[in-house]
Structure 1
Amino acid sequence: MGIARRDLLRWGAGAGGAAAVGSLFGVPSAARASGTSTTPGGLATDSWMGRLDGNLSLLDLTVPGTHDSCCQNPWYGTEWSHTQNWGLPQQLQEGVRFLDIRCNGLEGAPDELGIYHADAYQHLRLQDVLDQCRSFLQAHPGETVLMRLKNEHAGGQALDDTEFQRRVNHYLDDLGYRALFHLYGWPTLGAARGKVVLIADFANPWGLIGWSSGQNDWFDTQDVWQISGLDPLGEKGRDIVAQFDKAFLNPTYPRMFVNFLSYAGGYWPKTSSQTLMDRAVYPYLNARTGQRARFGIVPMDFPDFHVNVLQMLIDKNFV
């Protein structure tokens, strides 16, 4: 069963709560010595895409990603909305190439977008995210970043479709970010290098790549985040495995597979993430070491606790 909110607040208070978290999950690898990481296959995580043939379609890749990519600080919300320990620069350095970016209007800034988890402001603006991506891509021109940009439609800063579109255009044209983006259709890796591939999770008339949390012309997505019954994490694990299998068995499928390794459903994110990795994800990937696979986009919580899975996904592109 999940952890009750009242218990989480009690356990999280003071040194005892911190000790309990540390003993359960160990020291985050964000504390590792600085420098470029390498995968078990010998690939530098900051530049792994640069080793791939530029003629490959993005649809032919396995792309590790993060879920609610900017929810790094539990003070900006609660532990229930805390999904990452690494900031975006370190995520990119460690090999993450899909970012889940969710926006509402920014209070006091009539043209800007802020990064939110529901109605909880994450103390980042969209331009901060874009500047971090641009800085990384300028230093690593062989890479690309796939970005889901979502209208979060939440809280007092919620925006209607027309206003959200206006603000996106403000970023593209008035603030000069249009050249950073690939906007239309799935490109080859060569065409996407040095750019952010924009995936629109907001209503628009522009013909952008359109996100789906189920299926549409662009995507086939597993994003089950709430399940009733006696063993919801067991069922979520089976959903993850089924999506991995579907992607592996359909290498020419004309949509991008997405397989969320995250789960909410009343569980503390760290607990659900660890359970799913231990029961389903790591055993599945480890049993298939040495087998190339096109798994599509695979977003996760807390990759710093699951560096082995993150790096196994990168290596899937090369074996």
Structure 2
Amino acid sequence: MVQYNEWMKDVNDDAKLSSLSVPGTHNSAACHVALPSVQCQGASVTDQLNHGVRFLDIRCAKLFLASGDDANDLQVIHGKFPVKIPFPLKLAKVLDEVYAFLQSHGSETVIVSLKQEGQDTWDNDSDEFPKVIWENYVRPHQDQWYLGSGIPRLGDTRGKAVLFRRFGVKDEQLSQNLGIDAHWWTYNTTDDDRGEIRVQDFCELNDTNDVQKKSDYVKQLTSQAIQYNATNPADPKLFLNFCSGSNFFNPECWPEKIAQCMSDANIQDCFGKGCGIVVLDYSEKDDYKLVKELVDKNF
């Protein structure tokens, strides 16, 4: 029987992360009291990790109503809105949950996607955001991160967080030591293939008629990932497949409703060995059913 809190211990060290079936969560830390259109999960990051989730999607912004260095004590947001009210959720607190989990489960790795969101004014020419991430969050815990730019073997990342950065870096030296570069895919893409990474992130849903399209795109990329990984073991490609989508102005397209629609569409019927990272909203639904289905496909 699979132990979901340590499922990676039964995977060979030589396996590339891209060859696995990996459950992920969208806006992973958006599990607190917030606007109903902002919340995306119903369980904490720690609970998600203990149930098998191994990809976390975290969006950051400067601390509201702060200035100078205080503003760079980053908070977690979803779009323009904080994921926790009335008090902000600090990025450091979420990362501490990741470090604590990995310290207790040294066989595992967690892919941590960090992205800048909100209306902050950052000086991109001087790499302000990347430098804040490096100086304030990564460098002080450098031994707890895997910071290589290529798709790693599991054996090289056990006990570490893998930085998956959804922000650009202009400084070449800094970029070489700041994880996997994933800042480039086209917004609202149905399929964007740039070599080592292929992404489906169709997220702008006008109405419920778009939900069927969304589930079809999820199934298509899942099937393509399985086929690719079965026939191209020497040429790794990381498939990233978002099951999330929303429309702020339409409650029928808020995250919890979309999560239910994905379940009703039986997207799990397309799961298989090597289907890449599948990113879920409300991952805890039905006792983490979709998460467990994905983990089980590795064996």
Figure out how many residues of one structure are paired with residues of the other and give that number. Answer: 266
Deviations 1:25-53 (A, max 9, x none): xxxxxxxxxxxxxxxxx211100011111
1:111–1:170 CA contact under 8 A, matched in 2: no
In structure 2, C-alpha distance between the alignment counterparts of 1:255 and 1:70, rounded to whole Å: 27
Q: Following superposition of structure 1 onto structure 2, how do residues 155-234 of structure 1 map, counting pairs within 5 Å?
A: 155=119, 157-161=120-124, 162-172=127-137, 176-184=140-148, 185-204=150-169, 205=171, 206-207=175-176, 208-211=179-182, 212-213=184-185, 214-227=192-205, 231-234=209-212
Q: How high is the TM-score relative to the length of structure 2?
A: 0.83
> Which has more radius of gyration?
1
1:150–1:202 CA contact under 8 A, matched in 2: yes
CA RMSD of superposed structures (Å): 1.9
1:173 CA displacement: 6.2
Partner SS state of residue 265, structure 2: helix
1:234 CA displacement: 1.1
Q: How high is the TM-score relative to the length of structure 1?
A: 0.78
In structure 1, C-alpha distance between the alignment counterparts of 2:25 and 2:246, rounded to whole Å: 14
C-alpha change, 1:238 and 1:137, in structure 2 (3 Å) is same
In structure 2, C-alpha distance between the alignment counterparts of 1:98 and 1:216, rounded to whole Å: 20
Structure 1 stretches lacking a partner, 5+ long: 1-41, 286-291
Partner SS state of residue 95, structure 1: coil
Structure 2 stretches lacking a partner, 5+ long: 186-191
1:136 CA displacement: 0.4
1:230 CA displacement: 7.4
Q: Following superposition of structure 1 onto structure 2, how do residues 30-179 of structure 1 map, counting pairs within 5 Å?
A: 42-75=1-34, 78-107=35-64, 108=66, 109-122=70-83, 123-152=88-117, 154-155=118-119, 157-161=120-124, 162-172=127-137, 176-179=140-143
Identity percentage of aligned residues: 29
In structure 2, C-alpha distance between the alignment counterparts of 1:192 and 1:95, rounded to whole Å: 16
Partner SS state of residue 47, structure 1: helix
1:223 CA displacement: 0.7
Partner SS state of residue 112, structure 2: strand
* 1:218 partner amino acid: E
Partner SS state of residue 62, structure 2: strand
In structure 1, C-alpha distance between the alignment counterparts of 2:284 and 2:21, rounded to whole Å: 19
C-alpha change, 1:173 and 1:43, in structure 2 (3 Å) is closer
Residue 274 (structure 2) pairs with residue 316 (structure 1): no
C-alpha change, 1:147 and 1:264, in structure 2 (3 Å) is same
Partner SS state of residue 149, structure 1: strand
1:56–1:188 CA contact under 8 A, matched in 2: yes
